[in-house]
Structure 1
Amino acid sequence: MLRNYIKLAWRNLKSNRLFSIVNILGLSIGLATTIILFLFILNERSFDKMYANKDRIYRVLLNTTRDDIETWASAPSALGPELKANIPDIENTGRLLQHDFGGSAFIKAGNDVFAETRLFWIDASIFEMFDVEIINGTGAEVLNNPNTVLLSQTTSMRYFGDKNPIGKTLTIDNNETYEVKGVFKDFPENSSLNFNVVAPFIMQYSAKNPTWNNASFETFILLNSSNPDVDNIESKIQNLLDAKVEKDEQWYKFSIQPLERIHLYSSTYTDSYLNTNGDINQIHNLTALAILILVIACINYMNLITARSQKRATDVGINKTLGASVRQVVARFYVETGLITLIAMSLGIVFAALALPIFNDITGQQLDISSLLSFHILGLLVLIWLVTTLISGSYPALYLSRFSAKEVLQPSKSKGGMTSVIRKSLVVVQFSASVILIIGVMVIQQQLEFIQNKSLGYNPENVIAISTAGLKNGQENRALVNAFEKLPNVSKVVMAQGYPGMDVSGRSLSKPYSDVSMSIQTNTADRDIVDVLQLKLIAGQLLPENKQRGDTLVEVIVNKTTVDFLGLSPYEAIGEKVTMQLGNNAYIYGVVDDFNFASLHSPIGAYAFHNSIREPASYLLVRFKNDVLTETILNFETTFKNVAPNSAFEYTFLDKKLELLYEKEQRTANIGLLFSILAIIVACLGLFGLAAFMAEQRHKEIGIRKVFGASVPKIVQLLSMDFLKLVLVSLVISFPLALYVMNNWLQDFAYRIEISWTVFLFAGVLAFLITFVTVGYQAMKAALTNPINSLRKE
């Protein structure tokens, strides 16, 4: 019986080639899109699932209790050892710190110098908790000894080639020498941890002198149970904090986060050194998008089957007259749908394989075609095939099969009316979804343009930040500044701890005679930092040019938000003592206007430049004239190498760094644009098929109208008007939905656009244009047909 059903389905496909091609092509595009999106989603959800202790590993989060509530992924250095010693539920703890709080290290291996972005100082217990595989040399226990390092497999090849690295020495930042003791297997791409070089945490000052104040260290804990009472453990951690830190000095509390939630649920957390650039909201949106496009493709199939229901009803009536049961009719239609979706699935896999490199380029992912053959994906493909078959075949199988032979051989007007209503409703749903996608992409793009063009309060263009972490001492730094100042295309040069767009030092700013405080970013800098960034000085003066050795006075330039918090005007603030953990002799020396030193997702906070020696100035900021860029960079590199021959030349442009802050939004816009186009193509295929069918059904009417003098434009209008009315209904439905969805998305930005009515106008005009072009082709073709050919069949 099944064999006969397949034969009948195949014959039906061949006898209706246009509808078969439209159905299969629409479904295959929808399935290809769904496959690619689910590949991406499954990859994002696979992070950190490879670790044996994944259910017992948690990260400690710090939650500030000031007025500006924040969640940090870092914690004080004293926390880890105290947790292990005092809370029985915790089996082990481990701390990690990226070199220079996220800056690059300059590593000399033999005669070569490398800029290493993934050097971490870690406790040996980190490797034990995560079961990191050692493939050469000694294990993680060597990290309990000073001046030892472990290298990843790829890093070992990069530093030493095919030579055995064990026993070789590395010099970090032209300072201390470390011996290579082992090589560990590279971390998988879907691991939040991703170390290239690891060195002992005990080499850090914070390990020798742990405090509860400086929260710069990511801390992991290994619990005794894989099903812990999280509230109870967090309560015990709070009791420990109460025992160690006075209540009035507690500006934070702690919580714990499961390892498997780190990648997707940390987008709003600050101060993380891990690969946590995923976003669960993006996953939800892409899942909805994948399902939406698949539903649009299924609607195409149902629309065309619905349109042809009269012909299929006759077929059903004959079969029932000959004794076919309802079950057999249902089975036959599902077999036919299953065959179409199987062909479409095969084509969809081919399309997905061809499109995957393009998707990788757009999103920056490394999805592999071979993953299409993995057990999970094959299972998912079978599930998608079954679901698509059930959804697409539901109408012909369940609707047509329920009528008696007499009803389907002599169809009533009501059934025709119901069929038309179903078909029109599906078109409305399809185009409503397409219009929402169009509006969404436009709003995202406008928000990104707004971000790129918004005045930030400083000028990031033509400023280059050159890392100086590998320079030996202050004299070498000063020599570098002097060398760059002599270059003809350089306007200003300054040494600084960091620059806008990167995290510097987070501190607590206290309001005088009050318990109120707020977080403040502090940046060690030289006098000319205001000129290099082209900030607006509104009160006071620039930092002093020279600072005497042993001078404990700290001059500070703050932004206007800082003095507003202190309750002072910019002029009143000059000379006022300020408490921000820079010692007891910090005074406001100048005030600059507010500037966006962080992402526009957040409102402007407090910021300060200072000349304390508490943190090193690790960057040379150079404002240059807009000459030929390649020659400028080559000149800068030559100058840098002349002063610091043992350090690598690593640089970034401030405006390019800012673009990285919105990389996630740009990726979302690119994905949305790509798949919105595909969704519209799928919708157009459905309209094309429906228009072809309607033209075929009304060929007699068209012939008669032409005989009586109807013009081609009138016939085109006649055939197109029904579809244009449906698009109008879809606009009425989609506009408020799109407004609601995109307003919610914009809430993530502190600075955002107002959604303009022009977006809806453009989307509406585009929807009408797409419909008219798609339907108009078939309408024009029908209108130009010789009426004799239409009427001679009667």
Structure 2
Amino acid sequence: MLRNYFKTALRNLLRQKITLFINVACLSVAVGCSIVAYLFVDNHVNREWYHANAEKIFLVERQAREEGDLYTYGTTPTPLGPAMTDLAPVVRTVRVAISQATILSGGNEFDERIRLVDPGFMDMFTLPLVDGNSSALRDKNAVFLSQDLARKYFGEENAIGRTLQIKLQDQAERSFVVRGVTEHIPSQSCVEFSIFMSYENRFETGSTHSDDWNNLTQATFIQVDNPADIARVASQMKPFITLQNAADKTNTPVKAFIFENLLDIKRNVGNVKNSIAGRKLSWQGVIMFSSIATLLLLLSCFNFINISMAAAGTRLKEIGIRKVIGGNKLQLIFQFLTENVVVCLAAFIIAVALTGSFLLPAFNNIFGNGLIMDFSLRINLWLYMGALLVLVGVVSGLYPALYIASFKPVVILRDRLRFGSKNRFMQFLLSFQFVLAFVTMMASVGLTLNLIDLKNRDWGYDHENILVVKVKSPEQYNRMYKTALEQSQVLSVAGAKQHAGIYRTEMNVTAGEAQSHAIVFEVGNHYLETMGFHLTSGRSPGTRSEVVVNELFARQFGWETGEGRTIVIDSTTYAVTGVVRDFHHDSFQNDIEPLVFRLGDESQFTYLVMRTAPGSAAQASASLNSAWKHDFPDVAFHYFFQDQAFDEMYENSNGLLRIFTFTTVLALLMSCVGLFGLAAQRALSKMKELCIRKIFGIPQVKAILLVNGHFLVLLTVSALVATPVSYLILTAVLDSFYTYRMEIGPASFIIAYLLVIVTMLLTLLKKFVEITRMNPADILRNE
């Protein structure tokens, strides 16, 4: 019986190849997008899913007081890990340190962030080796690479046994042998180790000691047999608190060591300073991508219903005859549902292939994610796909099956049925598609205009013609400073430890009885002038005991002017000599914050900032690059132009725009397909009336409106409904991602609505032409 249902389903589907193609294409793209959205959401919520011991692994964090406030830090004392191995419930401990490094391979230089780890790292975390031996991690001269980095350094050649010249931060260049190549690790993981080596390399220079409780490491992980044992571990931490506080030289006494499970680290990263997990989760992105995937699925299901209902009009006699010869309603329902299941299965198979070959790589390329679709590792993905198949199958197929199977055979065979011509449910679905088309088009147009606005927005200072060189030592800074002064293209030069738009330090600042956080920049003489910051009053700092603040800082403390005021930072009192106009020290996605500029120690400067003559920045960088290679031949030259400081924000904005544009195109296509199907159905139902009216001389415009005027009304109503919805959604999207953005004006609506309406009218154009060219005699002759 079941076999017959499937044979009949395949035969019926193959008779309607265009309908089958449209349904499968729309569903497969929508399902593919939903798979990408699921992987994105799951990767954010469950970032450590692939670690077999995830529930047993805990990150040690310290709670310490700083200027009276209690903070949680991800960094811990270097000796803590080895000391905890003696605690009864602890199976193993692993310390992690991060070091900047310059790597030489094949005559090329690469800058990487290397992780230094203890030998138990490979046993604690699930990091499968493609080649090599995990025990080699005990060798100080061994290095492990991910597959991606192995290809980057050695191409398709076998990396095992190959040598890399590596200069760790503050260490001399040394030779390391590749002893292991690991599989790809998802980029969102807090344990993202593309390149790592033995932790013992951290002590090579002698400046860091393994028993120094005042020295901190980036992270300390512990593993226990049973997650419940972590309470026993916590109860034994008091001796380590005593050791840490006795050695502390930063006036931040530890109150407690606490433990956070590996699965929870990324979710709580916003509450932990200096966390190895990096940045806080972007829940706005999770919500947005989930919403887009849901809308696309709804659109494809609604489209499927409309097309199925329209196509069923050609099968009315089949339904009537099957009922006459004994077929019951339940059998017909099962037959139509079987056809729907076949379509859904085909769509899902194509969706998986489409996701793996195009959608997922494109998404990773746009947003820099490392999402992977691996069914062998993720049972949750199987469950999601199964649930999605059932949901899509029921939502898209149940109503057409119930509706079509409900017709009476007498009405069908006597040709008295005007199928679907006044079906309000189908009209509602089409209207919903129209609304979504308007909303997504409005979002795309709005984001495009907002991106244009961002690129033209005033930064608060002249960010053009500024060249910035990164330096790593006082020697590099001093030599390049002198070289820069000798360049005719360079107008002014200044150094900085922190640099606007790139790197910042937040500190507590006291003014009188009030206290607040502020961004503190330690800079050299002429930094403000070189950057083009505008002083609204006063002058630049001339000594190490003077500072300049921005307008927001002055307003926050209720100052009308800054001159004559004093502030306290780290128990040191500074005199305020001037106020600088507010500027965007961070991207437009973040608020302008209170700023303090003070003169810093040149030996700690990491940036050399130069203002060049207009149009001469590239020439200046070439001259400095040549001088750098002469003075520091073994060190890579790193520079950038200040107008590139917000490039990441622009790229993210472009990615967001591409996602919405893709969604808009899909929504428009699905709406057009649904509109075309219903227009064809309505034209068929109105054909006799139209022919008779044409005989009596109805004008062509009225003939077109008789058939398609109904859809123009639906389009108009949908536009009116979509207007407030579009405004609210675009406002929510812009507010979620940008602190500073454009104001939404009528131009966005006008452009968006014109694009949608013109597209819909072009969809109906074929029917317009058919109506105007129709010969009534050809139609009525067959009646």
TM-score range, shorter chain: 0.7 to 0.9
Q: CA deviation at 1:265?
A: 6.8
520-529 vs 614-623, which deviates more?
614-623
69-78 vs 639-648, which deviates more?
69-78
CA distance in 1, matches of 2:650, 2:271: 13
| SS of aligned partner of 1:597 | coil
| Structure 1 residue 778 corresponds to structure 2 residue 777 | no
Q: Quickly say closer, same or farther: Cα 1:316–1:195, change in 2 above 3 A.
A: closer
| Structure 1 residue 460 corresponds to structure 2 residue 469 | no
Q: Which residue of 1 aligns with 2:184?
A: 188
CA displacement 1:512-561 (0-9 Å, x = unmatched)? 3x3x53333333321121122211123443344xx8xxxxx544333233
**TM-score of the pair, normalised by structure 2:** 0.82
Unpaired runs of 5+ residues, structure 1, are 548-552
Instruction: Check conservation: 1:724, 1:771, Cα contact below 8 A.
Output: no
**Match of residue 702, structure 2, among 676, 700, 714:** 714
**Match of residue 519, structure 2, among 518, 521, 526:** 521
**Match of residue 549, structure 2, among 547, 554, 558:** 558
Instruction: Check conservation: 1:187, 1:194, Cα contact below 8 A.
Output: no
**Match of residue 665, structure 2, among 671, 677, 680:** 677
Amino acid at match of 1:401: A
CA displacement 1:726-772 (0-9 Å, x = unmatched)? 22333343333333333333443433343334433433333322222
CA distance in 1, matches of 2:54, 2:84: 18
**Match of residue 655, structure 1, among 640, 643, 657:** 643
401-410 vs 516-525, which deviates more?
401-410
CA distance in 2, matches of 1:149, 1:570: 59
Amino acid at match of 1:781: E
CA distance in 1, matches of 2:564, 2:43: 52
Instruction: Check conservation: 1:106, 1:174, Cα contact below 8 A.
Output: no
Instruction: Check conservation: 1:80, 1:94, Cα contact below 8 A.
Output: no
CA distance in 1, matches of 2:117, 2:538: 43
CA distance in 1, matches of 2:771, 2:232: 74
Q: CA deviation at 1:617?
A: 0.8
Over the matched positions of the two proteins, sequence identity in percent amounts to 21
Q: Quickly say closer, same or farther: Cα 1:716–1:314, change in 2 above 3 A.
A: same
Q: Which residue of 2 aligns with 1:296?
A: 299
Amino acid at match of 1:520: A
| SS of aligned partner of 2:681 | helix
Q: CA deviation at 1:46?
A: 6.4
**Match of residue 594, structure 1, among 573, 579, 582:** 582
316-325 vs 449-458, which deviates more?
449-458
CA distance in 2, matches of 1:684, 1:64: 61
CA distance in 2, matches of 1:121, 1:340: 52
Q: Quickly say closer, same or farther: Cα 1:76–1:30, change in 2 above 3 A.
A: closer
Instruction: Check conservation: 1:98, 1:120, Cα contact below 8 A.
Output: yes
CA distance in 1, matches of 2:117, 2:564: 42
CA distance in 1, matches of 2:780, 2:259: 78
Amino acid at match of 2:423: S
CA distance in 2, matches of 1:417, 1:153: 59
Instruction: Check conservation: 2:323, 2:409, Cα contact below 8 A.
Output: yes
Q: CA deviation at 1:455?
A: 2.1
Q: Which residue of 2 aligns with 1:116?
A: 111
CA distance in 2, matches of 1:314, 1:63: 77
CA distance in 1, matches of 2:66, 2:119: 34
CA displacement 1:1-58 (0-9 Å, x = unmatched)? 3344344434434554554444344334434444554555566666332223212334
**Match of residue 607, structure 2, among 619, 627, 631:** 619
Q: CA deviation at 1:286?
A: 1.9
| SS of aligned partner of 1:460 | coil
**Match of residue 390, structure 1, among 373, 387, 394:** 394
Amino acid at match of 2:145: S
Q: CA deviation at 1:393?
A: 1.5
**Match of residue 735, structure 1, among 714, 723, 729:** 723
716-725 vs 152-161, which deviates more?
152-161
CA displacement 1:684-742 (0-9 Å, x = unmatched)? 11212222222233222222222222233332233222112222333343333333333
CA displacement 1:148-169 (0-9 Å, x = unmatched)? 7745366678779978769987
**Match of residue 534, structure 2, among 518, 529, 536:** 536
Q: Which residue of 2 aligns with 1:694?
A: 682
CA distance in 2, matches of 1:531, 1:51: 52
**Match of residue 404, structure 2, among 396, 400, 404:** 400
Q: Quickly say closer, same or farther: Cα 1:451–1:176, change in 2 above 3 A.
A: same
CA distance in 2, matches of 1:519, 1:774: 58
Q: Quickly say closer, same or farther: Cα 1:367–1:126, change in 2 above 3 A.
A: closer
354-363 vs 199-208, which deviates more?
199-208
Instruction: Check conservation: 2:310, 2:420, Cα contact below 8 A.
Output: no
Q: Quickly say closer, same or farther: Cα 1:218–1:729, change in 2 above 3 A.
A: farther
CA distance in 2, matches of 1:65, 1:775: 69
Amino acid at match of 1:523: F
Q: CA deviation at 1:302?
A: 1.0
Q: Quickly say closer, same or farther: Cα 1:66–1:396, change in 2 above 3 A.
A: farther
625-634 vs 386-395, which deviates more?
625-634
Q: Which residue of 2 aligns with 1:152?
A: 145
CA displacement 1:551-602 (0-9 Å, x = unmatched)? xx5443332333444444444346x3x3222x63644444322222223333
Instruction: Check conservation: 1:298, 1:391, Cα contact below 8 A.
Output: yes
| Structure 1 residue 725 corresponds to structure 2 residue 718 | no
Instruction: Check conservation: 1:113, 1:646, Cα contact below 8 A.
Output: no
Q: CA deviation at 1:453?
A: 3.0
Where in structure 2 are the equivalents of 1:562-573 lying within 5 Å?
Answer: 562-573=553-564
CA distance in 2, matches of 1:66, 1:412: 84
| SS of aligned partner of 2:516 | strand
Q: CA deviation at 1:649?
A: 0.9
| SS of aligned partner of 1:118 | strand
Q: CA deviation at 1:332?
A: 1.0
| Structure 1 residue 504 corresponds to structure 2 residue 504 | yes
CA distance in 2, matches of 1:350, 1:208: 54
192-201 vs 650-659, which deviates more?
192-201
**TM-score of the pair, normalised by structure 1:** 0.81
Instruction: Check conservation: 2:468, 2:607, Cα contact below 8 A.
Output: yes
Q: Which residue of 1 aligns with 2:656?
A: 668
CA distance in 1, matches of 2:721, 2:73: 42
| SS of aligned partner of 1:55 | helix
CA distance in 1, matches of 2:126, 2:19: 56
CA displacement 1:209-255 (0-9 Å, x = unmatched)? 655xx9x8643443636655999999999999899599x97899997
Q: CA deviation at 1:613?
A: 3.0
CA displacement 1:298-321 (0-9 Å, x = unmatched)? 212211333455554553333222
Task: Kindly tell me the number of residue pairs found equivalent between the two proteins.
Answer: 765
Q: CA deviation at 1:378?
A: 7.1
Instruction: Check conservation: 2:97, 2:218, Cα contact below 8 A.
Output: yes
Q: Quickly say closer, same or farther: Cα 1:3–1:132, change in 2 above 3 A.
A: closer
Q: Which residue of 1 aligns with 2:125?
A: 130
CA displacement 1:317-356 (0-9 Å, x = unmatched)? 3322211123211111112223333444455556556634
RMSD: 4.6
Q: Which residue of 2 aligns with 1:751?
A: 740
| SS of aligned partner of 2:493 | strand
Q: Quickly say closer, same or farther: Cα 1:466–1:629, change in 2 above 3 A.
A: closer
Q: Which residue of 2 aligns with 1:550?
A: none
Instruction: Check conservation: 2:79, 2:212, Cα contact below 8 A.
Output: no
CA distance in 1, matches of 2:679, 2:25: 16
CA distance in 1, matches of 2:460, 2:69: 25
Q: Which residue of 1 aligns with 2:572?
A: 584
Instruction: Check conservation: 2:101, 2:166, Cα contact below 8 A.
Output: no
CA distance in 1, matches of 2:134, 2:350: 49
